[in-house]
């Protein structure tokens, strides 16, 4: 099968299957072989599911023969972060203490995708326990450090490391990931793919590992915003067995979102100066391209809260409670990163008063963002302010010296802020650092009010119609 197939979007793959250019079995076999062969190159593969996927592909081909068409995801292979349970198969949560863990029930999102005819071909690697104890090395995973397809000496981001690498390298057309604070947007930005974090409560987390009940979200990493929209429609929806469920559905109709020329978009020029110097030209050009879509750009500044500290307290307190048995048993010391084990232990010592204070400050943050969204419709900011770090170096080294002192906060802190407020955001590839050698992707974040996914996706779609950064391929040779 031609390499172009591995980098095609969901709609195209489905169309080519429907017109019988290839069968579901042929498509599935091609992706499975590629995932099994190249997945370990990036430490992206947690569990191949080839035999199950090929059996499923035969059924899907029969559906076409019987004229039973189910929509754009039918016959299209995908991968899932290994924090989502699949009945009867190992679900490791990326952590050695859970290496042989098996659940009896498949996660709700995987069940929903199954009903659309989508075909799960493998579980993908992740940072152990989604990084709930504060990891400080890329190697904080049962599967080794996530390696970036653009440069394997660089990190793929976390905690959805496998989904980021696998989508970027054309090993799966899309993958499900999760975000508690940055785990979709980060890998999407570093690997040069599109990553959508939905509104808190829009997608059921039943069957997913719990890190922080009030912050965990399941989302999508894919080749384009359009692909993310199609997948979100399939996985969204209320669930009485998820206490955080908003009980809402999502229908992907970006064409009925408000016209872009009626939208006011908040941005902060200081964000360019906060970013590392090699990223600045790409980010500046991306803001300009957003302006050329017809929206009105207006300068804003993020409300002043200690977002990173707040996220640390909330995730720490909830994650400590969620993993209390692991910590008490001492098996926490089997984690690859000793800093994580220590972090989880320390999380158990966070006082209730501080957790509650953090949760009460979240109420203030939500109110401030509601106020901000009465003036602007969406915000755009760098998805990350730093480039992919080398995998061999710890993350807690000294910060590089700054060449500029930004004059305002800008929108720095938008990722933890958006997660604390439960708001939807997307990261779209918006450029590359450097010119020839050492080129690495840069991501732009678009964030909106709760349940504004169609508006977020509409702007992202228009940006991707005007640019081709999402079509860039890393140097993958099979």
Partner 1 sequence: MKMTRRALGEAAVAGAAALVPAALLAPSATLAQTPPDGQRDWLAEARQSRAAAQQAIAKVPVAPDVEPAFRFRA
Rule CB under 8 A: which of 35-74 touch partner 1? 40, 43, 45-48
Catalytic residue among 165, 183, 224, 245: 183
Active-site residue (options: 125, 159, 161, 452): 159
Q: How many residues bind partner 1 (CB under 8 A)?
A: 80
Closer of 278 and 394 to partner 1 (Cβ): 394
Is 58 labeled as catalytic in the residue annotation? no
Nearest distance, CB of residue 391 and partner 1, angstroms: 5
Query: Closest distance between partner 1 and the C-beta of residue 138, in Å?
Result: 8
Of the candidates 13, 57, 60, 107, which one interacts with partner 1 according to CB under 8 A? 107
Among 356, 434, 465, 471, binds partner 1 (CB under 8 A): 356
Write out the binding residues for partner 1, residues 245-304 only, by CB under 8 A.
none
Closest approach of partner 1 to the CB of residue 235, in Å: 16
Which x/- pattern, by CB under 8 A, does the window 371-410 give for partner 1? --------------------xx-x----------------
- Minimum CB separation of residue 197 from partner 1 in Å reads 16
- Can 159 be counted among the known catalytic residues? yes
CA dihedral 232, 235, 237, 238 (to 10 degrees): -140
Here's the x/- map for partner 1, 198-217, by CB under 8 A: it reads as --x----xxxxxx---x---
Site for partner 1 in 428-467 (CB under 8 A): none
Respond yes or no: is residue 477 known to be catalytic.
Answer: no
Q: Which CB atom, from 200 or from 250, has the smaller least distance to partner 1?
A: 200
Site for partner 1 contains 324 (CB under 8 A)? no
Pick one of 358, 428, 440, 442: the residue that binds partner 1 (CB under 8 A). Answer: 358
Site for partner 1 in 127-186 (CB under 8 A): 133-134, 137-139, 142-145, 147
Phi, psi (rounded to 5 degrees) for 79: -120, 165
Segment 332-351, which members bind partner 1 (CB under 8 A)? 336, 338-339, 341-343, 345-347, 349-351
Question: Residue 358 Cβ, how far from partner 1 at the closest point, in Å?
Answer: 6
Q: Mind spelling out the 3-state secondary structure of the chain?
A: CCHHHHHCCHHHHHHHHHCCCCCHHHHHHHHHHHHHHHHHHHCCEEEECHHHHHHHHHHHHHHHHCCCCCCCCCCCEEEEECCECCCCCECCCCCHHHCCCECCCCCHHHHHHHHCCCEEEEEECCCHHHHCCCCCCCCCCCCCCCEECCEEEEECCCCCHHHHHHHHCCCCCEEEEEECCCCCHHHHHHHCCEEEECCCCCECCCCECCCCCCCCEEEEEECCHHHHHHHHHHHECCCCCCCCCCCCCCCCCHHHCCCHHHCEEEECCHHHHHCCHHHHHHHHHHHHHHHCCCCEEEECCCCCCCHHHHHHHHHHHHHHHHCHHHHHHCHHHHCCCHHHHHHHHHHCCCCHHHHHHHHHHHHHHHHHHHHHCCCCCEEEEECCCCCCCECCCCCCCCCCCCCCCCCCCCCCCHHHHHHHHCCCEEEEEEEECCCCCCCCEEEEEEECCCCCHHHHHHHHHHHHHHCCHHHCCCCCCC
Interatomic CA distance for residues 373 and 379, integer angstroms: 9
- Closest CB to partner 1 among 201 and 229? 201
Nearer to partner 1, 101 or 467 (CB): 101
Report, in Å, the least distance between residue 368 CB and partner 1: 12
Q: Measured from the CB atom, is 42 or 78 closer to partner 1?
A: 42
* Given 99, 258, 371, 434, the residue binding partner 1 (CB under 8 A): 99
- Kindly state the smallest distance separating residue 445's Cβ from partner 1, in Å: 22
Residues that are catalytic? 81, 159, 183
């Amino acid at each position: 099968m031609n390499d172009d197939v591995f980098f095609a979007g969901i709609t195209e793959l489905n169309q080519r299957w429907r017109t019988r250019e290839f069968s579901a079995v042929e498509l599935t076999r091609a992706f499975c072989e590629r995932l099994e062969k190249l997945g370990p190159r990036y430490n992206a593969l947690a569990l191949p599911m080839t035999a199950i996927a090929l059996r499923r592909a035969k059924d899907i081909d029969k559906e076409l023969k019987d004229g039973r068409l189910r929509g754009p995801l039918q016959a299209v292979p995908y991968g899932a972060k290994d924090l989502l349970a699949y009945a009867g198969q190992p679900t490791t949560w990326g952590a050695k203490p859970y290496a042989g863990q098996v659940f009896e029930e498949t996660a709700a999102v995987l069940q929903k995708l199954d009903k659309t005819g989508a075909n799960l071909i493998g579980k993908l690697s992740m940072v152990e326990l989604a990084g709930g104890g504060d990891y400080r090395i890329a190697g904080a995973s049962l599967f080794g450090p996530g390696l970036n397809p653009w440069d394997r000496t660089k990190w793929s981001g976390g905690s959805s490391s496998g989904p980021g690498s696998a989508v970027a390298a054309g090993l799966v057309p899309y993958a499900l990931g999760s975000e508690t604070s940055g785990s979709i947007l980060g890998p999407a930005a570093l690997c040069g793919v599109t990553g959508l974090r939905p509104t808190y409560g829009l997608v059921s987390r039943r069957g997913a590992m719990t890190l922080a009940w009030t912050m965990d979200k399941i989302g999508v990493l894919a080749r384009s915003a359009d692909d993310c929209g199609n997948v979100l429609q399939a996985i969204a929806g209320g669930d009485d067995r998820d206490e955080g469920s908003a009980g809402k559905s999502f229908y992907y109709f970006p064409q009925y979102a408000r016209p872009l020329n009626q939208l006011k978009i908040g941005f902060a020029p200081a964000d360019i100066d906060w970013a590392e110097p090699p990223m600045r030209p790409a980010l500046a050009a991306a803001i300009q391209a957003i302006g050329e879509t017809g929206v009105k750009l207006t300068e804003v500044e993020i409300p002043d809260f200690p977002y990173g500290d707040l996220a640390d307290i909330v995730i720490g307190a909830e994650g400590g409670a969620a993993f209390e048995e692991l910590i008490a048993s001492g098996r926490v010391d089997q984690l690859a990163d000793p800093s994580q084990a220590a972090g989880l232990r320390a999380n158990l010592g966070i006082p209730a008063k501080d957790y509650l204070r953090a949760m009460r400050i979240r109420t203030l943050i939500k109110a401030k963002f509601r106020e901000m969204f009465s003036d602007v419709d969406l915000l755009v900011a760098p998805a990350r302010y730093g480039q992919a770090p080398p995998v061999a170096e710890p993350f807690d080294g000294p910060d590089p010296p700054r060449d500029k002192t930004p004059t305002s906060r800008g929108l720095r802190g938008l990722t933890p802020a958006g997660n604390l407020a439960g708001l939807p955001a997307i990261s779209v590839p918006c450029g590359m650092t450097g010119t020839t050698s050492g080129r690495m992707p840069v991501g732009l974040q678009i964030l909106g009010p709760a349940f504004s996914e169609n508006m977020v996706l509409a702007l992202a779609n228009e940006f991707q119609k005007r640019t081709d950064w999402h079509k860039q391929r890393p140097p993958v040779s099979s």
